[in-house]
Amino acid sequence: MTTLHNPLVNGFHPDPSIVAVDGWYYLATSTFEYLPGIPIHRSKDFETWELIGHVATRPGQLGAESVPTGGGAWAPTIRHHDGRFHLVITDAMGRGMLHFTADDAAGPWSDGDLIVMADGSESVFGIDPDIAWDADGTCYITFSGLLLSGDLDPNAPTHLGIQQVRVDLDTHTALEAPRSLWSGTGLMFPEAPHLYEIDGSWYLMIAEGGTERGHAISIARGDGPEGPFEGAPGNPLVSARSTPRPIQNTGHGDLVVGPDGRWLCVLLGVRPRSGTRAFSALGRETFVTEVTWRDGWPGIAPVELNPRPGTRVDVDFSAPLDAEWISVRRFPDEVCRRDDGRLVLTADGSTLADARPVFVGRRQEHLTNEVTVRLDVSAGTGGLAVRYDERFFVEIEADGQSVTARAHIGGLLQEWTAAAASNVVDLHLASRPPQAAAAMVTTSDEFHLAATVDGTRIDLARVDGRFLSSEVTESFTGRVIGVYAVSGEVAVSSWVAEGHDG
């Protein structure tokens, strides 16, 4: 049982990778189409984690500006070598497999170099790249090979298994064609490889089973970084499949020696709720669990829930926005500015149904959560929304004459409107446990959408939260709650978010 809090990092922070440098821990996670991309959290005690910056803070570092939904920054590996931080990642359906470096993990990071095949023709094609060096300084990129869907025999696997190339990091060119390595116990989607040299042996740890309920972590051992590798007798080392554990989908891990010398594994998981634990509202979060070694093999303990205390975020817009604010396929400073202690969003004709909305938000980090914002809509129309993607979002909007709640569910739309003739309005968006139905609790949560106008509360709508879960949306991200503008300018004078995991 770990005494550490779990989730380790709340809200959608999937595919965690970790490195220890001079007594500090640095954690990197995926961000897909959101910018800034690839957050770096830092901790000394593995308990308190501070968001110190992002890898992608400038246009062009990622191709996120134009990636399709679900594309973008997938699965980083962060390491430290020869005095520099290194991060490799696949910018899926964007730039390809990239290598970033920095002297300081807080940034600035490099522009990102494409890792290309030996003939220089194209990016090494695969996901979840890992970067490792042997004692001679040879650099190994180990990744999960993919087949383009057009090549697929319907009965063939979409993954080519775990592959590896040696790379000249001066030219970012592979020194050979990809070779296949051990690829797990035969479960689907062998991915998320990480190579470690420990006590003279080389270990290749992977995820397999797919990032859903079948997710698992397996490991193999060999005498060198290229193998051959022999799978552990105890594989898979950890999986929540077919268990009643509150944290499911556990997999995609990275190993590190913790502050007290114990080995730890950070990994992704979800906290599904409903009668059959079907819906994960927040998406895939970062968790931690203990690792014990026996006969040269690690054992990974089941991931135990140990929720953090609730939080309250009260944003003062007279100060610069903190690094938690994110936008879709563009940076927050492209969609908003601070003016006289307010956050001003200037519409450009887009809505949340578009690829690049005028929207800036923060991850929902708690299962029970409420955000209240005060808007001035005297010069425009806008509101408060919780978003999974362009087809799945719930919003509450004000235009000075009325307030309107809308549920956009995969092309279906329902809306509720009430008169509210006021230019200043408070909007409330809450996620609450479902009102228990007669038979059993049948969903993750309910959204409660309301407004307060001139001191009068208007309860507009309640919407089933299952429709904004990673399972229903088939999304790699998670809920992001933010403010948006659809016409003119909208000014936000306050943002208060309170939540807990009760």
Q: Which residues are catalytic?
A: 15, 191
Question: Counting contacts by CB under 6 A, is residue 211 touching ligand 6LW?
Answer: yes
Residue closer to ligand 6LW (CB basis): 39 or 380 = 39
User: Which position has the token pair 């556990």?
Assistant: 250
Q: What angle do CA 430, 432, 437 make, to 5 degrees?
A: 140
Residue from 65, 191, 395, 489 in contact with ligand 6LW (CB under 6 A): 191
Question: Counting contacts by CB under 6 A, is residue 317 touching ligand 6LW?
Answer: no
Residue closer to ligand 6LW (CB basis): 77 or 381 = 77
Binding region for ligand 6LW (CB under 6 A) out of 19-27, 187-195, 329-337, 361-369? 187-195
Residue from 6, 30, 43, 444 in contact with ligand 6LW (CB under 6 A): 30
Binding region for ligand 6LW (CB under 6 A) out of 118-126, 169-177, 203-211, 431-439? 203-211
Tell me the two tokens of residue 136: 């001679």
Binding region for ligand 6LW (CB under 6 A) out of 52-60, 161-169, 205-213, 403-411? 205-213
Hey, what amino acid is at 447?
Answer: F
Residue from 38, 67, 75, 336 in contact with ligand 6LW (CB under 6 A): 75
* Residue 26 CB partners (closer than 8 Å, separation 6+): 18, 19, 20, 40, 41, 42, 78, 80, 85, 105
In whole angstroms, the minimum distance from the beta carbon of 184 to ligand 6LW comes to 13
Cβ(329)–Cβ(463) below 8 Å: no
Question: Counting contacts by CB under 6 A, is residue 74 touching ligand 6LW?
Answer: yes
Question: Counting contacts by CB under 6 A, is residue 15 touching ligand 6LW?
Answer: yes
Residue closer to ligand 6LW (CB basis): 14 or 161 = 14
Tell me the two tokens of residue 469: 């879960």
Question: Counting contacts by CB under 6 A, is residue 192 touching ligand 6LW?
Answer: yes
Judged by CB under 6 A, the chain residues 135 through 164 that form the site for ligand 6LW are none
Binding region for ligand 6LW (CB under 6 A) out of 206-214, 292-300, 308-316, 488-496? 206-214
Q: Within 10 A of 293 (CB to CB), how many other CB atoms are there?
A: 11
Cα-only R_g, the chain: 23
Distance CA 41, CA 30 (A): 12
In whole angstroms, the minimum distance from the beta carbon of 114 to ligand 6LW comes to 17
Number of residues that bind ligand 6LW (CB under 6 A): 15
Residue closer to ligand 6LW (CB basis): 7 or 14 = 14
Residue closer to ligand 6LW (CB basis): 17 or 422 = 17
Question: Counting contacts by CB under 6 A, is residue 127 touching ligand 6LW?
Answer: yes
In whole angstroms, the minimum distance from the beta carbon of 380 to ligand 6LW comes to 36
In whole angstroms, the minimum distance from the beta carbon of 164 to ligand 6LW comes to 16
The DSSP secondary-structure symbol of 108 reads -
Distance CA 89, CA 15 (A): 11
Question: Counting contacts by CB under 6 A, is residue 128 touching ligand 6LW?
Answer: yes
Tell me the two tokens of residue 14: 């999937």
Q: Within 10 A of 365 (CB to CB), how many other CB atoms are there?
A: 26
CA distances from 42 to 52, 131, 308, 424 (A): 7, 20, 17, 39
Question: Counting contacts by CB under 6 A, is residue 33 touching ligand 6LW?
Answer: no
The DSSP secondary-structure symbol of 473 reads H
Nearest CA to 165 out of 155, 149, 177, 153 is that of 177
Judged by CB under 6 A, the chain residues 455 through 494 that form the site for ligand 6LW are 476
Q: Where are the beta strands (DSSP E) in 199-326?
A: 201-208, 216-222, 230-231, 238-239, 248-257, 263-270, 285-294, 297-300, 311-315
Q: Within 10 A of 251 (CB to CB), how many other CB atoms are there?
A: 32
Site residues (vs ligand 6LW, CB under 6 A): 14-15, 30, 74-75, 127-128, 189, 191-192, 207, 210-211, 252, 476
